[in-house]
Chains A and B, each alone.
Chain A
C-alpha cells in the first residue's frame, strides 16, 4: 500500500531498530565514529551503553574494530556519513570485511545530492559504486523509512557484510507497515506496459510521480523499487524488458557504477532494450536545499518522464 504526504528521514531508522533487535536478543554491537547523533546510532548507545563503542573521528579504525568484534561472534554495526565510510575506509572494508565475509553492517547516511546545504564534499555520489564493486557485500538503498527499518533488520538477521545507504532529509514515506522488504526482490509499485521506471532511494517517489505525469499523456509506466541493489532482481529486469520494451533508471548517484550500470549489464547480457539513465553525470554536487538540488540536477519526476518518452521513441518497432 502506498501512503502519501508523510515524511521522515531514512537515517532515523538506525538507532531505534538496533535497540529493538538487541532487546529481542540479537547479539548486536555498534561502533561509532562521532556521527552518532546524525546517523541516529546514539539511540542504540543510550539503550545499550556497554555495546556502543566510540572510536572518535577514525573511520578506518571503526571498520577494523567492527571486523574484530564480528570475528568474535558479534553482529557488528557501524555508521558514518557515506563520504567518510566507505570514503575513508575502502581498503579496510575490502580486506577485513568483504574478503573474509565478516559479519559487519555499515549503515551510511547522507548519501546523494539531497545532503543539501553542506555542499559537494559532503554529498556521496560514489558510495554505491564502491560498495557494489566488492562481493559479497549486500547493498541496500531504501526508498523510505519503513523500508530502511526492515532493511536494517534483514541485515542484522542475515550473516555477512551489508551496506545500507540512508539519507539526511525527511523524504516521502511511501510504504505503510504492511510492506515487507525482501532481499533480492524489487517491489512493483505500479504496473504498465509501455515503459519501466526503475528507481532507488528517494527517487522511487519521483518515479511514481513521473508515472502519474506519463499516464496523463496516455503512457502506462511500470515502476520498480530497486532498493536491493545486490542481490538485484534480475528476473524483474528481464521481465520489464520483455513486457515493456524500454527502461529508465533513476538514482541520486553517478550513473556509472550504481543502479544504471547494474540494469544495463543485465540487459546487455540477456535482453538488450533501449535504456535511459537519470542520475548524476560527470559533475559533483553543490550547496542548496535538497529540493533545490534535485531540481538543479534534473533528478525530478519531469526529468524521469521525459527520459521515458525518449526511450519509448527508441523502441525498435
Chain B
C-alpha cells in the first residue's frame, strides 16, 4: 500500500472522525477502556496509516513494511479503530473489544490481530522494542522505518531514556519517536500550569515556611503537577535526536514532519505532538476523568453528535 500520499487532508480528517466514533463505541460497549488518550492520538495514528506508513493490510508481516509500535498500549481503541479503517480487521470486530474470546484485548498483544506489532500495557517498553526492529532493518539492509508512539507516562519511565541514549548511539536514523503530549495522565495533570496559567488551587497550607511537594492532590481528587517533563524537546535534543514540536491535530503538519523524519539521516528523530486529551468530545477534552473511563450511553450520544460528519 505504498503511495497513500494521495489521500486528501479532508479524507484523512473524515477517517479520523470515524476512528473517534469507533473509540466511543468500543469503550461504551466494553464499559471500560481508555478513550482520552485514544482521542488525543487519533489524528496521528490515522495520518500514519493513510499517508505515511508503507504497509499492506493483506500482508501484515511483509518484511519491508514500515513498523508502527504503540508504546502507550492502553490506547488500543485508536489502534484497533485505525486498523479496521485500513482494512486489517472487519469494522464489526470492534464490537468484541475487551470481551472473552476476542483478539482485541484491553491492551495490545503482539500480532493479535496481525498488524499489532508489539504487546504493551506497561509503559516505557516501546522504544526499546522499536530500536531492536530498527537495528534489524539496518543489519538486513532493509529500508523500512520504525515509528514509535509514546505518551507523557512513557516519557517518565527510565527505560525510554535508556532506549533514547542507545538509539542515538547506534545512529538509528530509521527510527522516529512520536510523543502524544496531552499533558494528562492517569491521576491528573503532568503539568498543571499549562491549563491554568498559574499554579491552580492548592490544599490549605499546613504550616508557615514548611516545604511543600511540587505536586499536590486537588479538591476534585485529581493530582496536579505529577511530573514536569519540560523542557522535553531539549531533553531529546540532548540525547542526540533530531527534534520537532508540532500540533498533533494538524494532519498536514504531521504528514510533513513524519516524511521529513523518514528522510533524515545520521540520527533518530523525535516529534513532540502537542495534543488535547479527549480531542473532539467536548466533555472529555482536557479532562483526566476520561483517561481510563468509558462514557455513559447519554454521554456517548452527545459524543456521536459532536463527531458527526
Binding site for B on A (CB under 8 A): 29, 31, 50-51, 53-56, 58, 60-61, 63-74, 76, 91-92, 95-96, 99-100, 102
Contacts and interface: CB of A to CB of B under 8 A. Distances in A.
B159 A65 contact: no
B125 A71 contact: no
Given A95-B121, A100-B110, A29 B139 contact: yes
A61 B163 contact: yes
B45 to A, nearest CB: 20
A68 B166 contact: no
B139 A55 contact: no
Contacts of A65: 128-129, 131-132, 135, 163, 166
B170 A53 contact: yes
Contacts of A99: 109-110, 119
A128 to B, nearest CB: 23
Contacts of B128: 60-61, 63-65, 67-68, 92
Contact of B129 (A29, A54, A67, A73): A67
A61 B159 contact: yes
18 contacts: A51-B139, A56-B165, A56-B166, A60-B124, A64-B129, A65-B166, A67-B118, A67-B128, A67-B132, A68-B128, A68-B131, A68-B133, A68-B135, A71-B118, A72-B136, A73-B63, A74-B136, A92-B125
B137 A96 contact: no
A100 B121 contact: no
A71 B135 CA distance: 11
Interface residues of B, number: 34
B4 interface: no
A63 B170 CA distance: 16
B108 to A, nearest CB: 10
A55 B162 contact: yes
Nearest to A89: B159
A249 B256 CA distance: 64
A72 B125 contact: no
Given A71-B110, A71-B136, A92-B128, 12 more contacts: A53-B170, A58-B166, A61-B131, A64-B127, A64-B131, A66-B132, A67-B128, A68-B136, A74-B136, A95-B121, A99-B110, A100-B118
A74 B166 CA distance: 19
Nearest to B129: A68
A72 B132 contact: yes
A71 B117 contact: yes
Contacts of B109: 99-100
A211 B135 CA distance: 51
Contacts of B163: 61, 64-65
A273 to B, nearest CB: 41
A66 to B, nearest CB: 6
A29 B138 CA distance: 13
B131 A100 contact: no
B159 to A, nearest CB: 4
B110 A50 contact: no
A55 B136 CA distance: 15
Which has the most chain B C-beta neighbours within 10 Å: A70, A91, A96, A102? Answer: A96
A99 to B, nearest CB: 5
Contacts of A100: 109-111, 118-119
Contact of A91 (B111, B122, B165): B122
A206 to B, nearest CB: 39
Which has the most chain B C-beta neighbours within 10 Å: A54, A66, A68, A76? Answer: A68
